[in-house]
Chains A and B, each alone.
Chain A
Amino acid sequence: MRSIPKASVLPLLLAAGITMPLVQSCKPTNTKSAVTGDAASKVFVPPGQYDEFYNFVSGGFSGQMSVYGLPSGRMFRNIPVFSVDPESGYGYSEETKPMLMTTHGFMPWDDSHHVESSMTNGVPDGRWMFINGNNTPRVALIDLTTFRTKTIIEIPNSAGNHSSPFITPNSEYVVAGTRFSIPMGSDAERDVPIDTYKQNFKGTVSFIHPDAETGKMEIAFQITAPGVDFDLSHAGKGPSDGWFFFSCYNTERAHTLLEVNASQNDKDFIMAVNWKKAEQYVKEGKGKKVPGKHYMNWWDDKTHNAISEVRNEVLQLDHTELKDLLYFMPCPKSPHGCDVDPTGKYIMGSGKLAALIPVFSFDKMIKAIESKDYEGEFDGIPVLKYESVLHGEVKKPGLGPLHTEFDNNGNAYTSMFVSSEIVKWNVESLEILDRVPTYYSIGHLCVPGGDSQKPWGKYVIAYNKITKDRYLPTGPELCQSAQLFSIDGPKMELLADYPSIGEPHYAQAVPASLIKDKSVKFFRLEDNNHPYATKSEKDARVVREGNKVHVYMTCIRSHFAPDNIEGIKMGDEVYFHVTNLEQDWDVPHGFAVKGAANAELLIMPGETQTLKWVPTTVGVKPFYCTDFCSALHQEMQGYARVSPANSNVPLSFNTKHADAGL
């Protein structure tokens, strides 16, 4: 979310100071005044002790997802998801390359956005995390036993997968809605002038089903929608379970200078989707298979390989033919966040440009639908009357409301981008209870379990777009940041600042107890079904197949077998299939070979990974372990001899011990 350029912030802040003197100063000059005396003790986790919560944070334009502990703000892992990661070999090893395959070919990067938990009975269950790729529309599933990307599914008939990957209360569906509407269909239907937006552009919302056993994902159905921009979404829960809500902007249907042209209407929409009705239509056979080529990439922990499967079609429900699927609730003004409170009774849309936060009542929405209390239609979809569906408005909450999370006491916490603050208010009474400045320009925010039916509360974390003077300067490029606030008391209290990786779009925090004891420590060698696994050093060998040389290599503290290889020739493609024979926790081995044009391998205990190496010069090339593994780590090395293409050096390999006579 960088819809408001940094350059425009200061004038806006000044304007805020003039027109809204009640709004707190956005940039207090004295930080000490914002931190009270015992903040340090509230975030201090003594060395060797564990944090209370895992915090899964979007890596934004890094394409990854990072894992922090709360309340310490210590970072544990940066999980590669949509972008290659030379450190682990993700996207470079032969096994992981298929994870990043799309209909556009191999994609080394994406812009990752929102993090969502898998849920059981409306509460995070610690099984999976989801994150969406915005640029090349995709959704990823992260397995929290391995902290690895398990599945990536591409979304067809979509552009800019932003309103994603929000989830239904029992993880039935993860959604993906088009931020950019686009022309769809045949080549001729897609090749149209941009200024025919109103006639030819449309959107879709896809419902993806993750399989409870395997974590594989498939698009169960895709609903067509009017050509506007779908921004964010959240599922109904409790009484509103069975519905999904999407914020929409650009109901002006502008296709140029949206900054101005998509800010004309007083109200845009929250789109309510009756997904139970959609399921019924699917059962009745009312969906149509339409072209929608996409990839489903899935990691197999037993073969230590990813597979890519291509789907050519998608089951589509046409909103112009099937009634009662979609309804619009008018929402001022260019809504961004679309959030549902823990009771499931209230839906709020945060109009970026609005001076209030509308809170919609699900009960009233159902009554308005039943009584056809419409104010009109938009592209054939009923538009419900604003007053009929409104629970109430939070008046003058601040400037630039973006996102809302909830605690377990009926309170909401809304981020205010322009006025750089978090505003706490009561969902029933709509009364503002507290406000606290953030440093600076907060985007998303996160309360542990804060978008579920039972928030754990305790903290709210602000994810800030701008840090400016908060840390030691690092040239023109500065980090973005998280700020941890206590919400235990009546007043929010700033406890800590810590930098984030990329732009932190949304996050999830769940109690460590839900995850930590399920963590995989190593992969059992007995279960390793990799086709090139070497499960005993006695089977280590080198096999030539034409110009392909397969090295079946083992490693253990602290040697490779084989570690002397001869008979490789220029023009060969060498595949180092390295199996880590260790069977204990925290003993990866690395593998790097001179002149490799890709990256290293980082091989977990019991795992097999493959590095492709195409030698570029004749000579003896060293390889070594990159991950300090023992006192003799520096001795964990070997040589591969590369001879000219026409040489007669025979293929040979060994690991010889000076005394053992091996």
Chain B
Amino acid sequence: MALLVACGGSEAPAGGGNAPAAKDATPAASTPLPGMITAADIKPPLDGDIDQGMVTKGKEIYEMKCLSCHTLTANRVVGPGWEGILKQRSPEWIMNMILHTDAMLETDAEAQAMLEECLVRMPNQNLTTEEAREVLEFMRTL
């Protein structure tokens, strides 16, 4: 099943990103799929000071559910390394990859490009929105 990379329609990509890899991909659509996270949905927004409490929780979640595949360096293991990840991906794209993994792999051009490179579908680790936001806070420190 995981070989069926392009099983979703690519006409409705769901996330906006600014990764270099996206240059050759279909431009991101302005309206995400229903239920997907938009920049306005991210609470608290990322413009404030880093919340160390959230970082601690995010790191714990990372170690249990993400570390097997993502390093904290720039090197890819199974999935991409996380160093500087917020310079490459928008916060809402990351939140959607965490929370709506399958929908993203089926509709988002950048997610599909990543899958073509990595060949392993990113598992949905069933985080809550709050937990995904904590992981995002942890990413702010990387």
A residues whose Cβ falls under 8 Å from a Cβ of B: 522, 525-526, 535-538, 554, 556-559, 561, 581-584, 587, 630-632, 657, 659-662
Contact = CB atoms under 8 A, between A and B. Distances in A.
A522 B65 CA distance: 14
9 contacts: A526-B64, A554-B68, A557-B120, A558-B120, A583-B127, A584-B125, A631-B3, A659-B76, A662-B77
Nearest to A556: B68
Interface string B96-112: 00000100000000000
Interface in B65-90: 65, 67-69, 71, 73, 75-78, 81
A660 B123 contact: no
A584 B75 contact: no
Given A525-B65, A536-B67, A584 B123 contact: yes
Given A525-B65, A537-B67, A558-B78, A587 B123 contact: yes
A660 B77 contact: yes
Nearest to B5: A631
Contacts, number: 68
B2 A657 contact: no
Max chain B CB contacts within 10 Å: which of A535, A554, A559, A660? A660
A630 B121 CA distance: 7
B119 A632 contact: yes
A662 B67 contact: no
Contacts of B120: 557-558, 630-632
Given A631-B3, A657-B75, A660-B81, A559 B119 contact: no
A561 B77 CA distance: 13
A613 to B, nearest CB: 23
B64 A559 contact: no
Contact of A631 (B2, B123, B125, B126): B2
A557 B123 contact: yes
B63 interface: yes
Please report whether the interface of chain A is mostly helix, strand, loop or mixed according to DSSP: loop
A535 B62 CA distance: 11
B64 A535 contact: yes
Contacts of B10: none
Nearest to B3: A631
Given A522-B126, A536-B63, A556 B119 contact: no
Contacts of A557: 69, 78, 120-121, 123
B124 interface: yes
B64 A536 contact: yes
A523 to B, nearest CB: 11
Interface string B4-39: 000000000000000000000000000000000000
Contacts of B81: 660
A583 B125 contact: yes
Given A557-B121, A581-B64, A659-B76, 6 more contacts: A561-B68, A587-B123, A630-B2, A630-B119, A631-B120, A661-B75
Contact of B71 (A525, A526, A587, A662): A662
Contacts of A660: 71, 73, 75-77, 81
B61 to A, nearest CB: 10
B124 A538 contact: no
B77 to A, nearest CB: 5
B68 A559 contact: yes
A212 to B, nearest CB: 28
Contacts of B77: 657, 660, 662
A525 B126 CA distance: 11
Interface in B50-65: 63-65
A631 B120 CA distance: 6
Contact of B65 (A538, A559, A583, A659): A583
A371 B126 CA distance: 66
| Across the A-B interface, the 8 shortest Cβ-Cβ residue pairs | A583-B125, A536-B63, A556-B68, A660-B75, A583-B126, A537-B68, A584-B124, A631-B2
Contacts of A554: 68
A584 B127 CA distance: 10
Contacts of A632: 119-120
Contacts of B125: 582-584
A519 to B, nearest CB: 15
Contacts of A662: 71, 77
Nearest to B60: A536
A583 B68 contact: no
Nearest to B124: A584
Max chain B CB contacts within 10 Å: which of A538, A556, A659? A556
Contact of B123 (A535, A556, A657): A556
Nearest to A535: B64
A582 B64 contact: no
A659 B74 CA distance: 10
B99 to A, nearest CB: 12
